[in-house]
Amino acid sequence: MNPLPRLRQLAAGGGFIAPFTIVWVLGVLVPVLGIVVFSFFRSRGVTFIFEPTLAAYESTFSHAGWQVLLRSARITATVTLIELVVAYPFALWLAKSARSPLLKLATFTALTVPFFLSPTARTLVWRVILGRNGLINTVLLEIGIIDEPLDWLLFSETAVHFGFLGPYFPSMVWPIFLSITLIDDELIEASRDLGGGRFHTFWHVILPLSLPGIVAGMIFTFVPMMGDTVVPQTVGGGAVLMLSSEINSLFSVMNYPVAAAVSTFALLFVVLFQFVLWLVLQRSGGIAHVFESLRR
């Protein structure tokens, strides 16, 4: 039997989407949620022993795991807020005021390319820029601004915050930019015509309508940063342990249940964060409200 006609039929009709969705849910979404289940068991070697226990959670609370989780959440939340404050005015300008098409094109490209670069390649060199014998210390010593190399430039919490700033800027700018672009210029003009000043228009028209973008930007910045493997270990070293190094060390001793418990907490933080943002969106009328006002 020739399978080609059936394959053609599957592709040309809508028949592909149902089996694909089933495989996607069973093969991807179920495993990800499965981690919550695994955190309630013990393991021997690479197999789980399916007797319910809270041992993994006791272990997470009794050793450093809990502190690492809180530190990761604190650093991630701080950088997310910094990115929001920096990205919003920039995105507003880019969406409504930037005139030069060439500058806009260059900026869009500059904000897209980083998503597709090797995280190691673009972080590694900070070590020799910020290190004790690195570029900045060498230059500052030469000029005579400092007498001793600055130690806090690398392997410190400051360094980790700094290392996050660049890589997670585009993920905050894009959603805000898109939501501001969607705001009809006539709404802004109407506000001005009715006597609303610059700030009044911003506060009562632009900001509420761009709220979905702010929420999306915060999610797309917070979520990947929480699981970042490269930045904390490259610029934080052993001095600033975050989620990735904690899970790595749990994996190296094959302590899978505690790794599952720590991951479950990370998942919980992330879900909670997204839920709070979703509530904010609902209170302000929700996405539906925004689309209605756009539809006119």
Partner 1 sequence: MTVLATSVAPGRDLVMDRLMRIGRPFGIAIGYLWISLIYIPIVWLAVMSVSSRPLTGVPYPLSLEWYDALFSGDMRWSGPLERSLIIGLIVSALCMVAATLVGRVLPLLRRRGGLLAAYLAPLFVPGLVTGVSMFMFYRAFVGVKLGDWSLVLAHFVWAFPFALLAMLVVSSRFDTRMNEAASDLGATDWQRFWQIEVPLLRPGIIASGFFGFLLSFNELPLSIYMRAGQMTLPLHLWSESTAHQSSIPLIYGMSTLVTIASILIVVLALRLLFFRDAER
Residues 6+ apart with CB under 8 A from 140: 146, 150
Residues 6+ apart with CB under 8 A from 219: 273, 274, 277
**Does 46 help bind partner 1 (rule: CB under 8 A)?**
yes
Of 271, 255, 275, 272, which Cα lies nearest the Cα of 39?
Answer: 255
Among 6, 31, 58, 280, binds partner 1 (CB under 8 A): 31
Interface with partner 1 by CB under 8 A: which range of 54-62, 144-152, 198-206, 278-286? 198-206
156 versus 266: smaller Cβ distance to partner 1: 266
15 versus 58: smaller Cβ distance to partner 1: 15
Nearest distance from C-beta of residue 141 to partner 1, angstroms: 12
**Does 256 help bind partner 1 (rule: CB under 8 A)?**
yes
Would you say 126 and 44 are in contact if contact means Cβ atoms under 8 Å apart? no
Would you say 135 and 112 are in contact if contact means Cβ atoms under 8 Å apart? no
**Does 12 help bind partner 1 (rule: CB under 8 A)?**
yes
**Does 29 help bind partner 1 (rule: CB under 8 A)?**
yes
Nearest distance from C-beta of residue 25 to partner 1, angstroms: 6
Secondary structure E strands in the chain: 42-44, 47-49
**Does 249 help bind partner 1 (rule: CB under 8 A)?**
no
**Does 260 help bind partner 1 (rule: CB under 8 A)?**
yes
Interface with partner 1 by CB under 8 A: which range of 39-47, 57-65, 178-186, 277-285? 39-47
Among 93, 152, 275, 291, binds partner 1 (CB under 8 A): 93
Of 223, 248, 220, which Cα lies nearest the Cα of 68?
Answer: 248
**Does 61 help bind partner 1 (rule: CB under 8 A)?**
no
Interaction mask 123-162, partner 1, x per CB under 8 A: xxxx-xx-x-xxxx-x------------------------
**Does 270 help bind partner 1 (rule: CB under 8 A)?**
yes
Would you say 198 and 210 are in contact if contact means Cβ atoms under 8 Å apart? no
Helix (H/G/I), strand (E/B), else coil: 225: helix
Among 59, 158, 229, 249, binds partner 1 (CB under 8 A): 229
**Which residue reads 């028209």 in tokens?**
205
Q: Which two tokens stand for residue 183?
A: 């705001």
CA-to-CA distance for 230 and 219, rounded, in angstroms?
20
Would you say 16 and 10 are in contact if contact means Cβ atoms under 8 Å apart? yes
